[in-house]
Amino acid sequence: MTRISPGSSIGQRDWNRMDRGTRLAWWAAREALESAGLKGGLMPIVVGTSAAAMPIGEDYYKRAMETPGRRAGQLLRTETYQVQRQMTAMARHLGVAGPLRIISNACASGANAIGHAFHLVRSGKAERVLAGGYDALCQLVFAGFDALQALSPSGVPRPFDAARDGLALGEGAGFVVVESVAAARARGARVMAEILGYGAATDIHHLTQPHPEGDAALSTMAAACRMAGVSPEKIDYVNSHGTGTPLNDVAEGRAIQRWAGESVAGVKVSSTKSAIGHLLGGAGAVEAVICLMAMEGQWLPASLNVREADPVCSFELIREPRDAKVRTVLTNSFGFGGANATLIFRKEDKA
Per CB under 8 A, the list member of 106, 295, 306, 313 interacting with another protein is 106
Is 91 a residue that touches another protein (CB under 8 A)? yes
Q: Which is nearer to another protein, 74 or 314 (CB)?
A: 74
| Pick from 214, 323, 315: nearest CA to 267 | 315
Is 58 a residue that touches another protein (CB under 8 A)? yes
Identify the DSSP state of 67.
S
Q: Which is nearer to another protein, 202 or 298 (CB)?
A: 202
String marking each residue 205-224 x if it binds another protein according to CB under 8 A: --xx------xx--x-----
Per CB under 8 A, the list member of 8, 35, 74, 180 interacting with another protein is 74
Q: Is residue 324 a contact partner of residue 209, using CB atoms and an 8 Å limit?
A: no
- Alpha-carbon distance 172 to 283, whole Å? 8
Per CB under 8 A, the list member of 5, 78, 154, 298 interacting with another protein is 78
Is 82 a residue that touches another protein (CB under 8 A)? yes
- Alpha-carbon distance 225 to 223, whole Å? 5
Rounded least distance, CB 248 to another protein, Å: 14
- Residue 207's CB is within 10 A of a number of other CB atoms, namely 10
Rounded least distance, CB 302 to another protein, Å: 30
Rounded least distance, CB 268 to another protein, Å: 28
Helix pair 54-66, 139-147: axis angle to 10 deg: 100
Question: Is-catalytic flag, 107?
Answer: yes
Instruction: Give, rounded to a whole angstrom, the gap between the first and last alpha carbons of the chain.
Output: 41
Identify the active-site residue in 138, 225, 278, 313.
Answer: 278
Per CB under 8 A, the list member of 4, 102, 156, 247 interacting with another protein is 102
Q: Which is nearer to another protein, 35 or 82 (CB)?
A: 82
Rounded least distance, CB 301 to another protein, Å: 28
Three-point CA angle 99, 50, 2, nearest 5°: 85
Is 201 a residue that touches another protein (CB under 8 A)? yes
Question: What part of residues 135-154 is at the interface with another protein (CB under 8 A)?
Answer: 139-140, 143-149
Give start and end residues of each alpha helix (H) in 151-194: 181-186
- Stated as kind and residue range, the H or E segment containing 134 is strand 128-135
Instruction: List b or e across 237-265, with b for residues whose CB sees 16 or more CB atoms inside 10 angstroms.
Output: bbbbbbbbbeebbbbbbbbbbbbbeeebe
Residues in the chain: 351
State the residues that interact with another protein by CB under 8 A. 49-50, 52, 57-58, 60-62, 64-65, 68-69, 71, 74-75, 78-79, 82-85, 88, 91-92, 97-106, 112, 116, 119, 123, 125, 139-140, 143-149, 200-204, 207-208, 215-216, 219, 335-339
Positions marked catalytic: 107, 241, 278
